[in-house]
Structure 1
Amino acid sequence: MKRILALLAASLLFTASAAAQRHGEAAVLKIWDNRTAPHSNGIASPEREPEPDRIENVSAAELYVFPADSVRDRGLAVVICPGGGYMKLCMDYEGYDAARWFAANGVTAAVLKYRLPEGHPEVPLEDAVQALRIMAGLEAGATGYTADRVGIAGFSAGGHLAAAVSTLGTFKPAFSILFYPVTGDGESPGCRITFDRLLGGRRTDAAVAAAWSPSRQVTAETPPALLFHSDDDATVPPSNSTAYYDALKRHGIGASLHIYPSGGHGWGLLGSFPYRETWQRAVLDWLDRLCAVPDGERRR
Structure 2
Amino acid sequence: MRRPHTLLAALLLAAGTAAAQDYGQAATLKIWDNTTAPHSNGIATPEREPEPNRIADVSQAVLYIFPADPAKATGQAVVICPGGGYVKLCIDYEGYDMAKWFAANGITAAVLKYRMPNGHPEVPLEDVEQALRIMMGLEAGATGFTAGKVGIVGSSAGGHLAASASTLAETKPAFSILFYPVITAEKGKGHQGSFNALLGGSRNAESDTWYSLQNRVTAQTPPTLLLLSDDDKVVPPVNGILYYNALKEHGVKASMHIYPTGGHGWGIRDRFKYKEQWQQATLDWLKELNDDRNTASVLLRQPGLPGCVDVGIRPATSRKSAGRELAEAAVQAAVQEFGQQVRSRRESDWPAGQ
Q: TM-score, with normalisation over the residues of structure 2?
A: 0.76
The equivalent residue for 1:208 is 207
Q: Does 1:33 align with 2:62?
A: no
Among the aligned pairs, what percent are the same residue? 62
SS at match of 1:109: strand
SS at match of 1:80: strand
Within 5 A, what are the aligned runs for 1:86-97?
Answer: 86-97=86-97
Q: Which structure carries more relative contact order (alpha carbon 8 Å, separation 6+)?
A: 2
SS at match of 1:211: helix
Which string of whole-angstrom CA distances, capped at 9 and with x for unpartnered residues, describes residues 213-242 of structure 1? 111100111000000110000000000000
Q: Is the 8 A contact 2:15 2:26 kept in 1?
A: no
* 1:34 to partner: Cα distance: 0.3
Which residue identity is paired with 1:155?
S
Within 5 A, what are the aligned runs for 1:140-179?
Answer: 144=143, 147-148=146-147, 149-179=149-179
SS at match of 2:191: helix
SS at match of 1:85: coil
Structure 2: which 5+ runs fail to align? Answer: 1-12, 297-317, 320-354
Which residue identity is paired with 1:75?
G
The equivalent residue for 2:307 is none
Q: Is the 8 A contact 1:20 1:26 kept in 2?
A: no
* 1:16 to partner: Cα distance: 3.8
SS at match of 1:287: helix
Q: How many residues align?
A: 283
SS at match of 1:71: helix
Which residue identity is paired with 1:269?
I
SS at match of 2:50: strand
Q: TM-score, with normalisation over the residues of structure 1?
A: 0.89
Q: 1:188 to 1:58 in 2, by over 3 A?
A: farther
* 1:191 to partner: Cα distance: 1.0
The equivalent residue for 1:273 is 272
Structure 1 CA distance for aligned equivalents of residues 131 and 137 of structure 2: 10
The equivalent residue for 1:235 is 234
Structure 1 CA distance for aligned equivalents of residues 48 and 215 of structure 2: 34
The equivalent residue for 1:220 is 219
Which string of whole-angstrom CA distances, capped at 9 and with x for unpartnered residues, describes residues 37-70 of structure 1? 0000000110001211110000000000000000
Q: Is the 8 A contact 1:178 1:228 kept in 2?
A: yes
The equivalent residue for 2:256 is 257
Structure 2 CA distance for aligned equivalents of residues 89 and 189 of structure 1: 22
How big is the alpha-carbon RMSD for the aligned residues of Structure 1 and Structure 2?
2.3
Structure 1: which 5+ runs fail to align? Answer: 1-12
SS at match of 1:136: helix
* 1:188 to partner: Cα distance: 4.6
